[in-house]
Chain A
Amino acid sequence: MSPSDLVTTACVVMLGLAAVLLVVRITRGPTVLDRTVALDVLVAVVICAIAVDAVERDTSTTLPVLLVLTLVGFVGSVAVARFAKGSDDVDAESGDEAEGGRL
């Protein structure tokens, strides 16, 4: 195994572990904004993974995908933040819903 392969393997392992942990956070929430932030980071991890792939295959054909992903991830999180209503934490919503009139 050459040093180059070793670097690629280490990068892939770290990025894969990061993606799994982020999916855990997306699943557990608890609010939609937590999930949005985690999805944003997941997009950044995917960008890093595509960059590592470009290094491994020594090609620049996938670089436009990076450009598109930076912009699409931004649009997604802004749209969710724009239309998120009130507190959607299922555990916390029981009880103090009545006094949260300004939400």
Chain B
Amino acid sequence: MSALTALTPLAAMTSVPEVAAQVSDVVGSVLLLAGCALSLIAAIGMVRLPDLLTRMHAATKPQVLGLVLVIAGLALRLREPEALGMLVLVVLFQMATAPVAAHMVGRAAFRGDQVDRERLVVDELSEGVRDLGDEPRGAP
């Protein structure tokens, strides 16, 4: 897997596995680039968006989709079957933990009155829950 040899003339390709390796390299590189671009876009969003909830919206991109793209690119470039299990585990753990963390952060922000209610389009939580102060804010 020395270099991306996509520029090599077709005549130089000899075997089917070699072609498959090159295709895998190219696809993996595209996935890596897409994942890194998502990270950059999300970071720009983190700086430019106005409040916590919109920043959490931007934060989701590299945490789930960006990571999945980069890990898929890594798997395609490494092509090691024994590494695949660990990569799948990384994606599974991230998909299981990121929503929980986001939920707890959003809940703490809402209960701490750090959410700018003027910006909310729909606010069903305030209508439905009158006794926000009764339970501890940090409770899950």
Q: Which residues of A contact B (CB under 8 A)?
A: 2-5, 7, 10-11, 14-15, 17-19, 21-22, 24-25, 31, 33-34, 36-38, 40-41, 44-45, 47-48, 51-52, 54-55, 58, 60, 63-64, 66-67, 70-71, 73-74, 77-78, 80-87, 89, 100, 102-103
A74 B89 Cβ-Cβ under 8 A: no
A44 B67 Cβ-Cβ under 8 A: yes
**Pick the contact of A52 from B1, B32, B67, B133 — CB < 8 Å?**
B32
Chain A residues with CB under 8 Å of B2's CB are: 4
B100 A34 Cβ-Cβ under 8 A: no
Chain B's interface: helix, strand, loop or mixed, by majority? helix
Q: How many A-B residue pairs have CB under 8 A?
A: 189
B97 A71 Cβ-Cβ under 8 A: yes
B83 A60 Cβ-Cβ under 8 A: yes
B67 A4 Cβ-Cβ under 8 A: no
- Which 9 pairs from chain A and chain B are nearest by CB? A102-B133, A74-B97, A18-B43, A3-B4, A21-B43, A2-B3, A81-B104, A60-B83, A82-B138
**What are 14 of the A-B contact pairs (CB < 8 Å)?**
A3-B7, A11-B32, A19-B43, A21-B44, A22-B46, A31-B109, A34-B55, A37-B59, A58-B77, A58-B78, A66-B71, A73-B101, A74-B93, A83-B138
Question: Which chain A residue shows the least CB distance to B82?
Answer: A60
Is residue B108 within 8 Å, beta carbon to beta carbon, of the partner chain?
A: yes
Question: Which chain B residue shows the least CB distance to A99?
Answer: B113
Chain B residues with CB under 8 Å of A3's CB are: 3-4, 6-7, 29
Chain A residues with CB under 8 Å of B126's CB are: none
Chain A residues with CB under 8 Å of B107's CB are: 81
Could you tell me the distance between the alpha carbons of A75 and B101 in the complex, rounded to whole angstroms? 8
With contacts A70-B97, A74-B100 taken as known, whether A40 is within 8 angstroms of B63 at the C-beta atoms is yes
B39 A33 Cβ-Cβ under 8 A: no
Chain A residues with CB under 8 Å of B112's CB are: 33, 84-87, 103
